[in-house]
Copies of this chain bind each other. A is one copy, B any other.
Amino acid sequence: MAEPTLTISDRIQQELDRLTRAERQLAHSILENYPASGLGPLTALAKDANVSTPTVARMVQKLGFKGYPEFQNELREELKAKAKNPIAKHDTWTEGAPSGHVLNRFTDAVIDNIRHTLGQIEPETFDRACALIADTAHPLYIVGGRITHTMAEYLFLHAQIIRPRVTHIQSTSNAWPHYLLDVGEGDVFVIFDVRRYENNTLKLAEMAHARGAKIILFTDQWRSPVHSLADICFSSRIVAPSAWDSAAATLLLVESVISAMQDINWEDTKDRAERLEDMFDQTRLFRKFT
């Protein structure tokens, strides 16, 4: 399908010469605040341009639309496309694969999720969360559920290098109450809970909250019930062309948190990472070369 790629703005400018006096007046009024003015009621647009309503109706028909509503519809489509576009300039991500291929469809969805997720985050909130997570004055607990424990563990594995006193709890394990024994005022909990919200996770959050712990929640756009207990809540978009959800946007947030954490405690982190390297050397766990 060959996209016209001709915006209404373009079309109006093209026709400008063929338009009559009142119509030109109107055209300029539309272009003045494009596309906002065209999206209001016909009456308002006419008054704005100091022309009569039928002039508006006639002009949109001259431009090839059946009526004003159809004209507005296309304006809105344009707006939608514009919002999507900055990133979607890639027709296909994988060369040689049709745009309907899983890889392309899935990647589109993930990029979209990322954009929406990031768009909803206030940088101050994010910074505050990172400061809390990086604060070594309080123990850090990381909690995940059935699927999300993978994200929790990913965070844990890195947090463990960056700072001491980090614990990973799986809410699906029935041993989780044990961990709460030592929890006190001001301890920090990072909790992951996405769709198919888990009862165990909620109970755990309630108990942690009752003990005065601060809760940072990573959830989806519909928000886990834990969010009412959370001090800070990040909701990622997780929709994907699949029977299951995508964790990609969540992972991006987690990795950003890790990156921010290490910047906060850089001296410590460097030191700890070096000591870790030494220990790895002694265990011969990794290959020295290649």
Contacts and interface: CB of A to CB of B under 8 A. Distances in A.
A49 interface: no
A218 B231 CA distance: 37
Contact of A34 (B13, B83, B130, B285): B83
Q: How many copies does the complex hold?
A: 2
Interface residue tally on A, bucketed by range: 35 or more
Interface stretch (A113-121, A133-141, A183-191): A113-121
Nearest to A28: B221
Given A94-B121, A95-B119, A242 B228 contact: no
24 contacts: A24-B222, A33-B80, A35-B79, A36-B76, A36-B79, A36-B80, A37-B76, A40-B72, A93-B115, A93-B119, A94-B119, A94-B123, A94-B126, A95-B119, A102-B259, A106-B256, A110-B252, A147-B154, A150-B154, A153-B153, A196-B280, A202-B287, A243-B273, A244-B259
The 8 A-B residue pairs with the shortest CB-CB distance in the complex, in nearest-first order: A97-B123, A242-B259, A93-B118, A36-B79, A36-B80, A106-B256, A150-B154, A150-B150
Interface of A: 13, 16-17, 24, 28, 31-37, 39-41, 69, 72-73, 76-77, 79-80, 83, 86-87, 90, 93-97, 101-103, 106-107, 110-111, 114-116, 118-123, 126, 130, 146-147, 150-151, 153-154, 157-158, 172, 196-200, 202, 221-223, 225, 227-228, 240-244, 246-248, 251-252, 255-256, 258-260, 262-263, 269, 273, 280, 284-287, 290
